[in-house]
Structure 1
Amino acid sequence: MEDRIQQHLNDKKANPPIHVYSYQFNGATVYYETSPCCDQYTTLYAADGKVLCHPDGGFTGRGDGKCADFSKNRTEEKLVWQDPR
């Protein structure tokens, strides 16, 4: 996630600012990255940085459908990072 955070800091500030949260999901720590705005997917990463799915966002607001149970089954939300700019 450190590489993703650095990438955000190198890019133009997003509106709304990007946030990264950690959760427990299906027995593992995962990282949820918000999207900068409208109709864009959010991204859910495994602890090793692999993209697991896009839980929400997009034109339908329902993501890519690969982890439709994420919002219902996630626990232990922690804010990891938010763009300070």
Structure 2
Amino acid sequence: MDDKINKYLAAKPENPPIRIMSYQYKGQTVYYESAPCCDQFTTLYDAKGNVLCSPDGGITGRGDGRCADFEKLRTNEQLVWQDPRK
């Protein structure tokens, strides 16, 4: 996640600001990366940084369908990072 954060800090700030949240999902720690704006997919990563799915976003707002149960099954939400720039 550090590489992703550094990449965001090197680019211009997004509106709304990018956030990275951690959750427990199906017995593992996962990281949810928000999308910068409208109709873009969010991304869910495992603890090693591998992409698992896009739980929401896109034109339908339902993501790519590979983890449609994420919203129901996720627990232990914690803010990992939010772009502090305005």
- Using the size of structure 2 for normalisation, the TM-score is 0.98
> What residue is the counterpart of 1:20 in the other structure?
20
Residues 40-55 of structure 1 correspond to what in structure 2 (within 5 A)?
40-55=40-55
| Structure 1 residue runs of 4 or more that deviate by more than 3 Å after TM superposition | none
Q: What CA deviation, in whole Å up to 9, does each residue of 1:21-45 have, x standing for no partner? A: 0000000000000000000000000
2:2 maps to a residue whose letter is E
Provide the residue aligned with 1:82 in structure 2. Answer: 82
Q: Which runs of 5+ in 2 are unaligned?
A: none
- In 2, distance between residues paired with 1:60 and 1:7? 28
Q: Which amino acid aligns with 1:25?
A: Y
Note the aligned Cα RMSD (angstroms): 0.4
SS of equivalent to 1:72: helix
How big is each residue's C-alpha offset from its partner over 1:5-58, in whole Å with a ceiling of 9 and x where there is no partner?
111111110000000000000000000000000000000000000000000000
Q: Which runs of 5+ in 1 are unaligned?
A: none
Paired residue type of 1:37: C
Identity %: 67
Residue 79 of structure 1, CA deviation: 0.2
Query: One-letter code of the match for 2:72?
Result: K
